[in-house]
Amino acid sequence: MDAVTDEQGSTRMATYGYHDDKQSHINRLRRIEGQVRGLQRMVEDDNYCIDILTQTAAVNKALRSFALSMLDEHLKHCVGHAVANGGEEADEKVREASEAIARLVRS
């Protein structure tokens, strides 16, 4: 977490948009991790190529879905707060979000 300073000069830890659903996100990532381990076992067990490719597509879809969920929360929370406050922080958060969207589109 990043440290932030409020208007009164107090420093606190930033809370990110995914914080309230953190355990849900961790569980989702653990399921994806299990899928990746399953891919490794499939290769170790000399499974059929098409079956491995099918499972690879499922892992990619799960990761893409997770990334879109993170992006949505970032836009709602981090970008939303920054835009409400205005200034350079708003410009920076919008730029970061645009770059993240570009990376997702390219992947």
Residue 18 inside a domain? The answer is no
28 is in which domain, residue-wise?
A: 24-106
CATH number of 51's domain: 1.20.58.1000
Of 27, 99, 89, 97, give the one whose Cα is nearest residue 62: 27
Residue 10 inside a domain? The answer is no
Residue 30 inside a domain? The answer is yes
Residue 7 inside a domain? The answer is no
Residue 34 inside a domain? The answer is yes
Residue 98 inside a domain? The answer is yes
pLDDT digits (tens, 9 = 90+) for 4-55: 454 555 555 667 778 788 999 999 999 999 999 999 999 999 999 999 999 9
Q: Total domain count for the chain?
A: 1
pLDDT at 1: 42
pLDDT at 25: 93
pLDDT digits (tens, 9 = 90+) for 41-99: 999 999 999 999 999 999 999 999 999 999 999 999 989 989 999 999 999 999 999 99
Q: Residue written as tokens 């350079």?
A: 88
pTM of the complete model: 0.77
pLDDT at 7: 54
pLDDT at 15: 76
Residue 30 CA to residue 72 CA, distance in Å, equals 20
Residue 76 inside a domain? The answer is yes
Residue 4 inside a domain? The answer is no
